[in-house]
Structure 1
């Protein structure tokens, strides 16, 4: 008999899971940041055949769709975990719908992010652009964190709502500093 309890034997595995859940998202965020800072931007880069103001308009519309999907994801997540006031228990179709909408949102984000990072890179010319650039880098790190946290049963219960909230917050910041800014001419505070 070694005298170790079950909790003591599981601690290293939990520690590894926590480190992985923390380090891999940071590595993704730093990788996107480094790429965005070191490559040469191509300001003429288009998106789906659109260029100039038309590409900005297209990204604003796609970004708004992404923001709407993030709100739906937030509501579905709250419903699944019985945190949506007055909604009761979520039907069995809600979790797969949540996963499908998450996949659609992720795929929708890719062309927007690709155009942004290749056309503009990570830039700090003003506060709006700086917040947008950092939120764009953080978005994919937080996405990786959410996937890891969802797959792990060893992380604390607060981890999933924390990374889910961070993901919605990153998307909201991106929308606020780009799509809203484009549609109204400038976002309040920037």
Structure 2
């Protein structure tokens, strides 16, 4: 078998594995959330009710800011920032550390959401938020798997990273902006 055929089949297998992992994590979280009995008194760092919602809105805003920084660092790493030609050594490390921090901030929020609400389907905003929340962790798992592979086409990581940034934006819009706008989407 020629090496180009082996390489393309290896790439296809890696992409399928990443997609399967993303789907499995997303579905597992969705099913778990659908079977979760909501506990509307669930706390987040000692806050519950409206205080927990306010804290989650601010934490989600931090996550959105970190996602924008992640995007800028990725563009910088891959030479896609206009007018920037040199990439300092620390950019890759900063990108990784920012990603770890972004993920770490999402975990307590997601745990409180899952314990407090599960996956509810009471309206379009709630469904979009719940599905995006489940998908975020699936997409994150897939990106972690893909980032370790050096033999993937150049479009794969930008697509995975872009999906994560877009998902963070959807989560922020359907929760934090909804809260900041007086419990209504603009």
TM-score normalized by the length of structure 1: 0.94
Larger Rg: 1
- Aligned pairs, number: 185
Render the CA deviation track for 1:76-130: whole Å, top value 9, x for unaligned. Answer: 0001001111222221100000000000000000000000111101111111111
Runs of 4+, deviation exceeding 4 Å: none
Does structure 1 residue 83 correspond to structure 2 residue 77?
no
Q: Secondary structure at the match of 1:41?
A: coil
Does structure 1 residue 161 correspond to structure 2 residue 161?
no
Q: Distance in 1 between matches of 2:29 and 2:86?
A: 39
Superposition RMSD in Å: 1.1
- 2:93 match: 96
Does structure 1 residue 116 correspond to structure 2 residue 113?
yes
Q: Secondary structure at the match of 1:105?
A: helix
Query: Any stretches of 5+ residues in structure 1 without a counterpart?
Result: none
8 Å contact from structure 2 (residues 36, 119) kept in 1: no
Q: Secondary structure at the match of 1:153?
A: coil
- 2:21 match: 24
Query: Any stretches of 5+ residues in structure 2 without a counterpart?
Result: none
8 Å contact from structure 1 (residues 17, 154) kept in 2: no
8 Å contact from structure 1 (residues 64, 179) kept in 2: yes
Q: CA deviation at 1:177?
A: 0.7
Q: Secondary structure at the match of 1:50?
A: coil
Alignment equivalent of 2:30, drawn from 27, 30, 33? 33
